[in-house]
Structure 1
Amino acid sequence: MIHSFIESLPYEQRVLSEMLDRCFENNESSVFYVSIDEKNREVTYAEMKEKVDIVASNLLDLGIKKGTNVAVLMASSTDYISVWFALAKIGAIEVPINTVYKGETLQYLINDSDARYIVVDEEYYAELNKISAGLEKIQYVISHGQNDYSYETSWNIVGWERVTKYSEVRIRHLFNEINNNPVYPHDPVGIIYTSGTTGPSKGVLLSNHHLVFMGLTHAGIMHYKEDDISLNFLPYYHTAAKFVTMACMLSGAKMILKKKFSITSFWNDVHEHQVTLLSSLGGVLPMLYNQKEKEDDVKNSIRAVYVIPSPKDNYYEIQNRFGLKLVVAYGGTEWNIVSSTELDEDKPGSAGRHFEQYYDLKIVDEHDFECSQYEQGEIIVRPKIPHIVMLEYYNKPEKTVEAWRGLWFRTGDRAYKDKDGYIYFVDRLKDAIRRRGENISSFEIESVVDKHPQVIESAVIPVPADVGEDEIKACIILKKGADVSHQEIFNYCYENMGYFMVPRYIEFFDDFPRTPTGKTRKNILREQGKRGMTRLTWDREKDGGIKVTSKGIDAIKETQ
C-alpha cells in the first residue's frame, strides 16, 4: 500500500503549494477540514485556495520572496494553515516556533533562523516584545489578532487585515512572480527545530519533497481513503501535524482540526465527527488508556492509530479495549518516516521493517560494524531517492557533518533487529545509563515502573555518581489520589527488575516538561536542582537506609 501511494505522485509534482492547486481543481467544493475551535467551521478547498492566494500576494507585497525565512509563532488554526501554504506558494521558508517558548530560548530560535519577518498570534506578542532588544534581524512583525500596537519598537508592525485584503493587482503580481520563480521539489520549504531532548535545538532544513514524502508515506502506512476522517490536534511547529494534513489532501480524506489535545473532550470529538484515524505521539495513548475503563470503550469509530513509540506492554489490551488497530512507525524530523508495521499485522514492541525501496538502514556498533540479530546498536540511515532526508542543520555545518559521518545519517537511536528484520527501538543513545559497569536502558526501567498500578508515567534519568559513572533517578507521575510512598515504589522496582537497574533516587511530579508532541524533555529533568537532584528527591540510601547489591538488600547503619 505504501509503495502504490508514493508512486502515484510523480516527483515533479511533489511541491507543497501544487498539492493545494490540484486539490482545488479536483475537489473544489469538497470540505477539506473542520475546525473544532472555530465552532466546527467547515473549510472547502475553494475557500482555502482563495485565502492562500490572497495571503501569499500580500506577503509578497511586503517583500517576502522565494528563499526568505519567515518565523511563525501561532497556534493551530485556519489562519495558520493559510500562512503555511501561502509561504510555500511564494517559495519562502517557514520557520514554525514552539508557542510555549519564552525568553532566551525564543530569542535563540528566532535569531538562529535568520528570520527578518515573523507572523505572531496576539497572545504571544507580549513575550516577543520582552525580547525585542535581543532580536537581531527581525524587521517586520505581522500581528495576527487585535493588538493595540502601543509597544515602543523599531519593528514595522503589520496588522492581519493588511495580509488578508484582496487586491487584484497583487494577485496578478503573485502569479507573475511564481511563473518567473517556480518552486521545485528540491527547494527548501521549512526549518523545523528539533525538540531539544538532548541539547540545544537545531534547525532542520527540509525540502518540499521531504515534507510531501512524509505525507505520502503516512497516507500509505495508514491506508487513507476518501471516506476517512482524521483527527489532528498536533501543533504545526512539528512535522506530524503537517504530514497528517498532507495525507488528508493526498487521499481526499477529511481532517478535523483542533488546537490541542484534550483528554476531557477527546471521545466527544471522536463521536461527534466520527473520526476514523488518529495519530498519537508521546503520551497521548497512555493517557487515554489510563482513563477509567468503560463498558462502551469499544464502541467508537476509530479504525487505526498511528503511534510512536510502540506500547509493547499493553499493545493487545489497547487494541481490544478500543476496538482498533495500532500502526507503529519509526522516523525523525531529519530522516523522515523509514519503517512501520503493517495495518494487518501485530508485532508488539516493534516499529516494523524499513522501507527498502527508499532507504538503506543498518544497526551498527560503536565502530560502525553491523550488529548481529538481537544485538543492540545505533540506527543509521541513508536515502535511495533524492531529497527525502534533511538538507542540513541550518547554520550548523559542523553538526551536519557530524550527523552524516561515513555518508550515513546517525539517528542517535539505539535499537535491534530480530531474525525477520523487524526493528525494535530501545532508547536514545544519550538516555542510556552506565552504572557499576552495566549499560542500562532508561526505557527498560520505565517499562517496569509504568506497570505499577498507581503510576501514570515515568521518566528515568542518569544522575552523576559521587565516583564515576551514573546513579539512577526515577521521576514519576502518580494517578490522582494515589496513596503510595517512595519506599513502596522502591520495593516494586526491586521485585521486578535486575538489582543494578533499581533506582537510587525517586521523585514524584505533577507533570513533566514536554516537547510540543508530548515527549518528556529529559534534558530539563537532568538540569533541575543540583545535577538533577531537588529537595523533593528521595534517596534510598540516605532517606531509606537501603543499599542494593547483587546479593540483595543491605541496611545502611545510621552511623554511615
Structure 2
Amino acid sequence: MITGNDRWFGHQVRSLTTRDVLRERADRLGNKVFLDYLPDGRKFSYQDIDTQSSRIAHGFVALGVGRGSHVAVLMDNSPEQLLTYFALGKIGALAVPLNTASRGRSLQYLLDHSDATTLVIDYSLMPSYLEVAAQIPAIKSLIVLGGQLSGLESVPFQQERVCFETLYAQDDVAPDVDVVFDDPAYIIYTSGTTGPSKGVVLTQAQCFLWGLSHAQAFGQRPDDVAYICLPMFHTNALQGATYNALMVGASIALQRRFSASNFWNDVRASGATLTNLLGSMVNILWAATPAETDSRNQLRMCMSAPIPSFGTAFEQRFGLRFIQSYSLTDFGPTHAYSLIDPLGKLGSCGRPRIGIEARIVDDKDFPLPPGQRGELVVRHSMPWAHSQGYYKMPDATAKAWRNGWFHTGDIGLIDEDGYFWFLDRVKDAIRRRGENISAYEVEQVLLAHPAVRDAAVFAVKSSMSEDEVAAALVLKPGHKLDHVEMIRHCQDLMAYYMVPRYLMVMDDLPRNSSQKVEKFKLREQINVDGLWDREQAGIVVKRR
C-alpha cells in the first residue's frame, strides 16, 4: 500500500537512484548471487554488480561521459550490457538501448534522433554500425566489447575507439556525481505507429518503481530465480524482470537469447522459479513433442502476453501457472493477473495495480460502462511512477496525455469485476514474434525502391497467434515487381523481423475522403492464400 506522499511499498521514492539502490543491495545481500550468466557460467554477486558497475562508471567519466550524456548501447544479453546500464545510471548519463537487429535507415534514425555521442557495441554487430557510421558524425566515442580493435584500422571514421575491458578502473566506489531520482536514466525506443519510432524517457526512480510494482503484484520472493532469455534492450526483460529481481533481493539466470531446444534445460539447470515469455514462444514450446520430463522444473509462474487459448492445458503439461502483466514502455505497468486471481479470469490482463486508475473511453474520451469496447486510458496517483513522455516529440506526448489520462492506443473492455481484456490495437503497429514493428518505417524502405510509387504495410494473422507483415505496393509506370529483389532490398535496409512476408501489387490503395489509406480494408479483404509468400518461395531472411 502507499503511505505518505513519497513512499512506495516502504521505499522512499527520493532515494531510488542507481547508486543508492545498488549500494544498499550490496550492503544488505553482499555475496548472494544476483546474476548467473548461463552461456559461460560467470556468476556475479550483489557486491560484484555494485563494485564492477562503479569501476565502469569511472571508465566512462575518463572518456568524457557524464551527467546528461546520451550513450547508445547496441549489445546482446550479457553481464557487460547490464553493467553498462548501471554504470551510466551512477553518473547520471542516459542509456539508449537499441534493438540489435536494427540496421540501415532504422539504425541511423535511432542514433541520430537520440543525440547519442557514445556507442557501446558488441564487436559482432559492428557491420551494422559501419553501414551508417558516415551519416552519424555526432558519435565521438566507440566502445567495443569482444573482437580486436586492430580489425577496425581500415575504417575511415574518426571516432575514439576503445576496448570495453579498458573501462574497468581501479576505484570501485561510485563516482561523486550528484544524481537524483528524477534524472532521466533511459531513452527506450518503441515502434513508431503513424510516424517514426518514439524514444520514451524513463527516470531513475521509475525503473525501480516498475520493479517494485512487479514484486508486489505477483508476490515475488527473495528465493526466486528469474530465467531471462528475452532481450534486455526491451522493458520486458529489463524493467519487467531484472529490476524486480534486484528490488526483491532475488536472482536472475541470463541467457543470450531464446532457444526452444535449450529452454527447459536452462530452466532446470538454473533452478528458475519465474520466467517471461511471448505468445509465439509459448506456441513453439507447446508444439514440441511431449516428454515425460515436461513438468520436471521449478517454475511456479510464467508471465505470457498473450495467454493462449490452450493456457490451462499448457499449465498442466509443464507444471506451472500463467500470470500476465499489461505494461507499456510508453507508460509503465498498469494491470496484473496473478496467482491469486480466479482461474476464470485467465486470459485477461488482470486488474489495476496499486496507484493505477484505468477506464475504457469512447473516441471523445468519455468513460464507457463495464463490458463495452473502447480505448484503455490510465493514470498513476504516484509522481515519477510512469514514463515522462517522448524524447523531442512534445506534440506526440501531449496527444498521448490529453485530458489528463495516458491513451494506450489499445482497445478492450473492463468487466464487472474490474478485469481488463485486451481486444485490439488502435495504433498502426504490427506485433511479430515479440517485436513491435512500425508500419511507417517499413513503408519508408519500400518507398525508397525505384519501382515503388506507393506502399501500405499491414498485419495479417499467422499460425503463431501473432502477426505477419504484408505489403501492398503501387508501382511506377513501366515497372514490374521482382519479388526476390524487393525482399533483398528490404533485408539490406531494415531489421530481419521487419521484412515483409507477403507482397501484392495494386493499381491504387484504398483511401477515404481525406486520402488516408484505409488499412482496415486491406486487412479485411485480403486473403493471404492469394499473395506472394516469401516463405513458400523458399527465401530465408536471417538474423545478421
Q: Provide the TM-score with structure 2 as the length reference.
A: 0.78
1:350 partner amino acid: S
Answering whether residue 42 of structure 2 is matched by residue 41 of structure 1, we say yes
Whether contact under 8 Å (2:149, 2:161) holds in the other structure is no
Whether contact under 8 Å (1:2, 1:220) holds in the other structure is no
Answering whether residue 14 of structure 2 is matched by residue 12 of structure 1, we say yes
| In 2: Cα distance, 1:105 partner to 1:75 partner | 18
Task: Decide whether aligned partners of structure 1 residues 274 and 471 sit closer, same or farther in structure 2, where only a CA change above 3 A counts.
Answer: closer
* CA apart distance, 1:162: 2.4
Task: Decide whether aligned partners of structure 1 residues 431 and 112 sit closer, same or farther in structure 2, where only a CA change above 3 A counts.
Answer: closer
Answering whether residue 354 of structure 2 is matched by residue 350 of structure 1, we say no
Task: Decide whether aligned partners of structure 1 residues 383 and 277 sit closer, same or farther in structure 2, where only a CA change above 3 A counts.
Answer: same
Task: Decide whether aligned partners of structure 1 residues 471 and 37 sit closer, same or farther in structure 2, where only a CA change above 3 A counts.
Answer: closer
Q: Which residue of 2 aligns with 1:218?
A: 214
SS in 2 for 1:328: strand
**249, 263, 267: which one pairs with 2:264?**
267
Q: Which residue of 2 aligns with 1:288?
A: 285
Task: Decide whether aligned partners of structure 1 residues 358 and 115 sit closer, same or farther in structure 2, where only a CA change above 3 A counts.
Answer: same
| In 2: Cα distance, 1:365 partner to 1:301 partner | 44
Task: Decide whether aligned partners of structure 1 residues 8 and 267 sit closer, same or farther in structure 2, where only a CA change above 3 A counts.
Answer: same
The 5 A counterparts of 1:248-263 are 248-263=245-260
* CA apart distance, 1:528: 7.3
| In 2: Cα distance, 1:21 partner to 1:400 partner | 34
Q: Which residue of 2 aligns with 1:318?
A: 314
Task: Decide whether aligned partners of structure 1 residues 157 and 184 sit closer, same or farther in structure 2, where only a CA change above 3 A counts.
Answer: same
Q: Which residue of 2 aligns with 1:497?
A: none
| In 1: Cα distance, 2:260 partner to 2:65 partner | 39
Q: Which residue of 2 aligns with 1:162?
A: 166
Whether contact under 8 Å (1:363, 1:370) holds in the other structure is yes
String of CA shifts for 1:110-150, please: whole Å, max 9, x gaps: 00000111111111112212211111411111112223231
| In 2: Cα distance, 1:65 partner to 1:359 partner | 34
| In 1: Cα distance, 2:457 partner to 2:87 partner | 50
SS in 2 for 1:55: helix
Whether contact under 8 Å (1:35, 1:78) holds in the other structure is yes
* CA apart distance, 1:474: 4.3
* CA apart distance, 1:366: 0.8
Whether contact under 8 Å (1:309, 1:329) holds in the other structure is no
2:66 partner amino acid: K
Q: Which residue of 1 aligns with 2:410?
A: 413
Bigger drift between 222-231 and 330-339 goes to: 222-231
1:185 partner amino acid: F
Report the aligned-residue RMSD.
3.2
* CA apart distance, 1:359: 1.8
Q: Which residue of 1 aligns with 2:52?
A: 51
- How much identity, in percent, do the aligned residues show? 31
Q: Which residue of 1 aligns with 2:237?
A: 241
String of CA shifts for 1:311-331, please: whole Å, max 9, x gaps: 2x1121121111211111212
Q: Which residue of 2 aligns with 1:381?
A: 378
Structure 2: any 5+ residue segments left out of the alignment? Answer: 440-455, 466-489, 510-521, 532-544
Shift >3 Å, 4+ stretches:
195-199, 470-479, 518-521, 523-533
Q: Provide the TM-score with structure 1 as the length reference.
A: 0.75
| In 1: Cα distance, 2:115 partner to 2:33 partner | 36
Answering whether residue 195 of structure 2 is matched by residue 195 of structure 1, we say no
* CA apart distance, 1:363: 0.5
Answering whether residue 29 of structure 2 is matched by residue 27 of structure 1, we say yes
2:346 partner amino acid: P
Whether contact under 8 Å (1:360, 1:383) holds in the other structure is yes
SS in 1 for 2:269: helix
| In 1: Cα distance, 2:195 partner to 2:180 partner | 33
| In 2: Cα distance, 1:142 partner to 1:478 partner | 38
The 5 A counterparts of 1:391-540 are 391-430=388-427, 474-477=460-463, 537-539=528-530
Task: Decide whether aligned partners of structure 1 residues 324 and 99 sit closer, same or farther in structure 2, where only a CA change above 3 A counts.
Answer: same
| In 2: Cα distance, 1:52 partner to 1:271 partner | 29
Whether contact under 8 Å (1:283, 1:519) holds in the other structure is no
String of CA shifts for 1:503-529, please: whole Å, max 9, x gaps: xxxxxxxxxx99xxx9986x9568876
* CA apart distance, 1:240: 1.6
| In 1: Cα distance, 2:367 partner to 2:271 partner | 46
1:230 partner amino acid: A
Task: Decide whether aligned partners of structure 1 residues 265 and 473 sit closer, same or farther in structure 2, where only a CA change above 3 A counts.
Answer: closer
| In 1: Cα distance, 2:497 partner to 2:235 partner | 18
Structure 1: any 5+ residue segments left out of the alignment? Answer: 433-441, 447-458, 462-469, 480-512, 541-560
| In 2: Cα distance, 1:365 partner to 1:527 partner | 35
Task: Decide whether aligned partners of structure 1 residues 221 and 529 sit closer, same or farther in structure 2, where only a CA change above 3 A counts.
Answer: farther
Bigger drift between 125-134 and 202-211 goes to: 125-134
Task: Decide whether aligned partners of structure 1 residues 135 and 526 sit closer, same or farther in structure 2, where only a CA change above 3 A counts.
Answer: farther
Whether contact under 8 Å (1:204, 1:334) holds in the other structure is yes
* CA apart distance, 1:207: 0.8
String of CA shifts for 1:211-261, please: whole Å, max 9, x gaps: 111111112223221221110112121112212111112222121011101
| In 2: Cα distance, 1:478 partner to 1:350 partner | 19
| In 2: Cα distance, 1:377 partner to 1:246 partner | 32
Bigger drift between 225-234 and 279-288 goes to: 279-288
String of CA shifts for 1:78-107, please: whole Å, max 9, x gaps: 111111100000010000110111111000
SS in 1 for 2:462: strand
SS in 2 for 1:388: coil
| In 2: Cα distance, 1:410 partner to 1:526 partner | 31
* CA apart distance, 1:29: 1.3
* CA apart distance, 1:394: 0.4
Larger Rg: 1
* CA apart distance, 1:536: 11
* CA apart distance, 1:204: 0.3
String of CA shifts for 1:47-80, please: whole Å, max 9, x gaps: 2222111110010111111111110111111111
Whether contact under 8 Å (2:414, 2:421) holds in the other structure is yes
1:223 partner amino acid: G
* CA apart distance, 1:192: 0.3
Task: Decide whether aligned partners of structure 1 residues 338 and 83 sit closer, same or farther in structure 2, where only a CA change above 3 A counts.
Answer: same
String of CA shifts for 1:403-442, please: whole Å, max 9, x gaps: 111121111000101111111000111369xxxxxxxxx9
| In 1: Cα distance, 2:213 partner to 2:459 partner | 38
1:408 partner amino acid: W
Whether contact under 8 Å (1:303, 1:324) holds in the other structure is yes
| In 2: Cα distance, 1:519 partner to 1:370 partner | 40
Bigger drift between 415-424 and 339-348 goes to: 339-348
Q: How many residues align?
A: 458
* CA apart distance, 1:344: 2.1
* CA apart distance, 1:11: 1.2
Task: Decide whether aligned partners of structure 1 residues 158 and 136 sit closer, same or farther in structure 2, where only a CA change above 3 A counts.
Answer: same
Q: Which residue of 1 aligns with 2:332?
A: 336
Q: Which residue of 2 aligns with 1:297?
A: 294
Whether contact under 8 Å (1:230, 1:256) holds in the other structure is yes
* CA apart distance, 1:335: 1.4
| In 1: Cα distance, 2:388 partner to 2:228 partner | 27
Bigger drift between 188-197 and 52-61 goes to: 188-197
| In 2: Cα distance, 1:338 partner to 1:2 partner | 15
Q: Which residue of 1 aligns with 2:108?
A: 107
| In 2: Cα distance, 1:309 partner to 1:196 partner | 21
